[in-house]
Amino acid sequence: MTDAVTTGTLGPLDIGRVMAALPHRYPMLLVDRVEELILDRSIAAIKAVTINEGFFQGHFPGRPIMPGVLIVEAMAQAAGILAVESLGLAGSGKLVYFMAIDGAKFRKPVEPGVLLRLEVEFVQKRSSVCKFAGRAMIDGQLAAEANFTAMIADPPKA
């Protein structure tokens, strides 16, 4: 692992580190690995899309395609890791909540057997609200893109 103190770069981060940054768990955890994270700037993460995903049973029988909303969710989870690591929130209990999705476009179907590369960068970073631009790539080709906004806040009280 690269020394983040001197370079501001982390990676690769395994599933344990991903799970330390995100509260999501199976079946909603959609980031398997972080290849590179540049603090305060960007993240490149991977979602290994397999036929074992539960949503493929109904979307669509005989022609499995990952739902677009889950592709956007995967990008948002990558953004959550970027925000948590950049803002030093790991272990704080703070959550990253979706606030808005803009300009979502789907260019190529995401099918079982691909490694979906999630590339997300900060557009604006504040302590409580962040804006991101995300792209989902398959073998260097654009599969989906979206801009989104998230709020950093305490979890709801039980």
Q: Using omega within 30 degrees of 0 as the cis cutoff, is the peptide bond preceding 60 cis?
A: yes
CA angle at 137 for the pair 133 and 142, rounded to the nearest 5°: 80
Question: Cα(45)–Cα(62) distance, rounded to whole angstroms?
Answer: 29
HSE toward the beta carbon, residue 134, CA cutoff 13 A? 33
Catalytic residue (one of 24, 33, 59, 125): 59
Q: What is the DSSP letter of 40?
A: T
Strands 95-106 and 42-48: unpaired
Q: Classify residue 14 by burial, with Cβ atoms within 10 Å: 0-12, 13-18, 19+.
A: exposed
Would you say 21 and 29 are in contact if contact means Cβ atoms under 8 Å apart? no
24 noted as active-site residue:
no
| N-term to C-term CA, the chain | 38
Give the residue numbers marked as catalytic. 59
